[in-house]
Structure 1
Amino acid sequence: MHLDFERELSENTVREIHVGQGGAQVYVLTGERIAKQIRRDQMPDEQRFLSYLREAQFYQETADAGLGFLPEVLHCRITSDEIELILRQYQTIPVQTLQAISPDRIMETLAAIHQMPCPSCVPRIERTPVQFTEAELSEALSGWQSILEEHPGVFSGHVLRELAESINKQNAAHFSGRMVCCHGDFHLDNLLTDRDGRIIVCDWQAVSWGHPAGDLSFFLSRLSDTGYAVDPDAWIAAYCRHADGDLSEQEIREQMALANWNTTFRFWHYFLHGAEEARVKGIYEKMLADYSLLQV
């Protein structure tokens, strides 16, 4: 898994790709290959380099695992201040062709990710129920009250205090300690296909240890942002058809709702001051729907 990287760049580069703000230099090479060069001193911060390091270590550890959803790694070299990768190049999946790819196949791929052994480069963090402090709850309650007051006569805020008083109880009641290896950035831009139509999953910088609902929730959120008509129940059902037998659709829905409620109540009020009524309504009503789903 070692090539002369500098020679490959100098003799076989077709063009450089400029994507995102990650700091990596990415090149298209001849022979349907992609090269990534990550220099520590060119990263925007140390955490970014460490995320690329985790990705490279992940590729090294899984090289002989026979996982069909991983890209073919042609070269991987890690030093203290630089990472070199050469991967096989694959085709993107335009959202317009998503139905032809089949949502069931995408969920089968995600379930396969969650069933693979977790490599040692992925930290295993013990999961405990989210519990907010009184100060955090008070701040969130005041923040949301101020958001709703910016739209007088539109929203009923009587339920906000009820949300604040019950959120810790609901986190404890619906806690799931189920942990799997998660991609961490599972969305359409990171899904590719090979010449045989197999789905290949790239960009493993955020690979982590967590509940499977996290990847699924993030995927559906990002897919919805593209304008694609998302039916969450259909995607959840497709995922559970391929997941471990004891994982139910209800658990997935509850964990997705719980994560959204926690994030929305605790943080979203920071970003909604001055927002249009429709935007506030969409986020607020989704939080209330999640709250209703989780009542015990």
Structure 2
Amino acid sequence: MRELVVLGSASQVPTRHRNHNGYLLRFDDEVILFDPGEGTQRQMLMAGVAVTPLRRICITHFHGDHSLGLPGILQRISLDRVPHPVAVHYPAGGQEFYDRLRHATSYWDNAEIVAAPVSAGFAVETSAGRLTALPLRHSIETYGYRLTEPDSRRMVPELLTSYGISGPAVGELQRTGRSGDVTLEQVSAARPGQSVAFVMDTGLCDNVFALAQGVDLLVIESTFLAEDAEMAAQVGHLTAGQAAAVARECGVRQLVLTHFSQRYPDPSAFLDEARKEFDGPIVIAEDLQRIPLPGRR
């Protein structure tokens, strides 16, 4: 299963209908929680997702709406005695904030939590592919994340038949790349890997485009509308139009807008603005929404 579960879509101030940030990415066996803001543990309960499958948690920056839910999540991981290590990625310069959140209250620490701070050039291999992080432009140290699945090949039944390949020979091809005189390339087709990018609080900068380049799913903040573009630039945020322009220029397949300021009561305004810049699929994130990754190319 490959899907994004939106646990919260507000910005600094939650509303009656939008919780603070929280995004759970299910990418087969790799389950990643991004930016657990305040109330994320309850939002997970409401969404019907558990902490047990979590393999890692990614914090973009240490503002409260992106990280104050971390203590509750870590304590729940211990309470449920999650049997595998859970890595926590966060900006290296925010170590003191991580240390405070890691042990914000007293509890029995019954799980293996692995602190894994990120800095320039960060990359780690996961079961789903390579997870990378790049610095963004905000009022404090902030990173965006990208998960990229490696390319592979898929068997083409008609080609297998034409070369007389069947049974154990198919497995041999997949393992070694050859069965007799037949190579894997002769009976298969390229299968591009999928990719997802998370770009939270930031002004426009080169790394926004680097993270978004060619991804299947771009989850990106759009705190403001164009009418408040000057304010957005001052505080290091994006407008819906800017986020959509990034998606267009980077060839994104599906765009998810989130992190909405409470000053705008009508979410359709974000869609209207984004549609002027990007004609692909756009999702205006709603709490507890499930968004499947686009089908393979």
- Measured against the shorter chain, the TM-score band is under 0.3
Structure showing greater radius of gyration is 1
